Structure 1
Amino acid sequence: MTHADRPTDAPRPSLAAGIVRSLRPKQWAKNVLVVAAPVAAGVIDQGEVLLHTAGAFACFCAAASATYLVNDATDVEADRLHPTKRNRPIAAGVVSPGLAYALAAVLLVAALVGGFLLEPDFGWVLVAYLGLTTAYTYWLKEQPVLDIVAISAGFVLRAVGGAAAVGVPISEWFFIVTSFGALFMVTGKRHGESLDLADDAVAVRPALGAYTPSFLHYLRAVFSGGVLIAYCIWAFTSGQTNPDGAVLFQVSIVPFAVAILRYALLLDQGKGAEPEVLILSDRIVLGAGVVWAIIYGCAVYTS
């Protein structure tokens, strides 16, 4: 019996509930990355900056949900072979592909109009994000390595978008840390998906067939090392530009390293298929993240 043939006891949701689920509101947590640059720049406590950041978050939520709708409508047959994705509203027949495309068009227009009204530079970041996600949906997701880079670039564009929305510059180390962190997380996601899907992996996601366990292990090692080294340099560089907070910036390396190493352990155990769930469910990762945020915040705002 295949995954698609297995019965499910879940009741059929209503159309309204199916639409909400198709928007994937749980995934909106990724868009919190728009606050990274304003926080790092020490300006998030300014009223106008906070308002623009909230607007950027809303625009990214609309844009992301639009891409999720298009992706699910395009992948409807492949999703029906997946052990969990087959229960998505579009794959399950609750929401029709035609309705999904129509809703996606409305959200895309809303996101772009809102983005350009908020700040033209931010609007162009949204255009780049939507272009990237469209290319991923129709081609990049089937290309090994490029699929990992494309998803990671989506995370980086969220961080860049937050900076563009409030007009703050991005340091090279902020960009490098964000890039390596995203690559590390997405590589772990691919490893987790390979283990979860097993023999169905290639049928559901063709690019997974090209990834061997040793290659994914190599990528995780490279990217985790890269993000740790880059963050250490960023912390020391921040201490040079802000001497009053130098000690706190340096101390923040400890919880940051704990979070990365703990996450690496969980990835090695094959638990990375859903990064947003993993981060919020593991107490050590979450606790280290909170401690890091407090220390870093004190370094930026109280020094």
Structure 2
Amino acid sequence: MTATTGITRRRLPLLVVQTMRPRQWIKNSFVLAGVLFSGRLDDADALGNAVLVTIAFCLASGASYLLNDTRDAETDRLNPRTATRPIARGDLPVNMAYAAAVVTLLAAVGLAMSVNAASAAVVAVFLGLQLGYSMGLKHVLFVDVMVIAALFVLRAFGGVMAVDAEISPWLLLVTGLLALFLALSKRRGEAVAIGGQSNPQRPVLDFYSVSLLDELIGVVTPSVVVVYALYTVLGARTDTMLATLPFVLYGIFRVLFLMHHRDRAGMTEEVDALVYRDAPLLVCVVLWGVACAVITLTA
């Protein structure tokens, strides 16, 4: 075994973790919605179960990224933004990626099962839908963004199952609409970035236009606000939750501002990167979370 081979093998665990994209696991914080909005943050057992299922979703997400990158390695090499991924650049062997994906997938389902069977079932459905997205649904017009929204709803629903809580359907609905808004915003950024050129990595962009996406965003945006307002009045544990509406409005306004006036290419990034990069948006999300926690705990 050469020195180079030895170094490569020692780096394999790091390469696997890198391919699992831990920075994007912030999306799995939606799993905590169940324990947050049920007012059980002070319940150690419920909080522990919610955290375990959140970790399970992080592992499930990581497994899906491993499988996705093995499938898309050739097209990833054609895009400067994805050509540096470990599998695309040839540092992580495909067989190792597949093996890591299987182990991670089993760990995700097993960890969720340690909480309850319902959570494990939701994680399994999540994995199936993620796999379907990677294998072709991401190339189907409108279906691609609807699947992304459904994945966020499954995260939230998995969190509800983890703590065996009763959560208003309004909350699950606003989760899906918000995810749809962010997915459409991301597609718009991608459409602006390629400037009408063909995109071999994401062929669905050949069908989306900036004007079409603006119309779709114009439909979804007020829906998010209205449904969230209805949740605070009709579905929340207390009407005081209405006080969190300004944070939602500001967050949406900020994303729209970034979309139209700041670093348009940046909107091609995932929502996690957008939150990390924009301090006002990050502060808004944190303040919204703190406000929701305080209100539900004192209700």
Q: Same fold (TM over 0.5)?
A: yes
Quote how far apart the aligned CAs of 1:16 are: 3.6
Quote how far apart the aligned CAs of 1:30 are: 1.0
Counterpart Cα distance in 2 of 1:88 and 1:200: 23
Deviations 1:143-196 (A, max 9, x none): 111111111211111111000111112312101110100000111111122233
Quote how far apart the aligned CAs of 1:214 are: 0.9
Counterpart Cα distance in 1 of 2:13 and 2:120: 30
The answer to whether the 8 A contact 1:255-1:292 is kept is yes
Match of 2:293 in 1: 297
Deviations 1:196-251 (A, max 9, x none): 34466521111111001111111211121111111111112256x53xxx3x3222
Counterpart Cα distance in 1 of 2:79 and 2:197: 8
Report 1:182-197 matches (<5 A). 182-197=179-194
Match of 1:235 in 2: 232
Quote how far apart the aligned CAs of 1:276 are: 0.7
Match of 1:20 in 2: 17
Match of 1:277 in 2: 273
Match of 1:5 in 2: none
Which among 239, 251, 260 is matched to residue 243 of structure 2?
A: 251
What amino acid is the match of 2:24? Answer: Q
The answer to whether the 8 A contact 2:68-2:134 is kept is yes
5+ unaligned residues in a row in structure 2: which ranges? 1-7
Report 1:14-93 matches (<5 A). 14-93=11-90
Q: Which has the higher contact order (CA 8 A, sep 6+)?
A: 2
The answer to whether the 8 A contact 1:148-1:186 is kept is yes
What amino acid is the match of 2:253? Answer: L
What amino acid is the match of 1:204? Answer: Q
Quote how far apart the aligned CAs of 1:40 are: 0.6
Counterpart Cα distance in 2 of 1:96 and 1:198: 34
Quote how far apart the aligned CAs of 1:41 are: 0.8
Aligned pair count reads 287
Match of 1:176 in 2: 173
TM-score (norm 2): 0.91
Match of 2:94 in 1: 97
Counterpart Cα distance in 2 of 1:77 and 1:223: 35
The answer to whether the 8 A contact 1:82-1:197 is kept is no
Aligned to 2:91, what secondary structure does the other structure show? coil
